[in-house]
Amino acid sequence: MSASRACVIEHLSDADETSALKILETYDDKAFSLCDALSFAVMDRRGVTRAVSFDGHFRQYGGGKFEVLP
């Protein structure tokens, strides 16, 4: 993992990819992209509960699992 003052680069694990595919299967009624699902998987693993995003999928995932900041 690399870090700077502005961001942290998080590398995906095999488990993250497996979790992302499970998210896509679970939420097959949503139009989540693989990138969305990978983001959700990493956020779940890291315990992240707040996100800055214009993507409405973050609001859809998990029925408000993440607080989406304006």
Any bridge partners for residue 51, and if so which?
Answer: 68
pLDDT at 3: 58
Domain that holds residue 50: 6-69
Contact 1, 11 (CB under 8 A): yes
Q: Whole-angstrom distance between the N-terminal and C-terminal Cα of the chain?
A: 27
Q: Residue 33 corresponds to which tokens in the numbers above? A: 């992209």
The position carrying tokens 């993507």 is 55
Domain presence at residue 41: yes
Count of structural domains within the chain: 1
Residue 1 lies in a domain: no
17-62: per-residue pLDDT in tens? 999 999 999 999 999 999 999 999 999 999 988 888 888 888 888 6
Which amino acid would we find at residue 39?
S
CB 19 within 8 A of CB 41: yes
Q: What is the pTM of this model?
A: 0.82
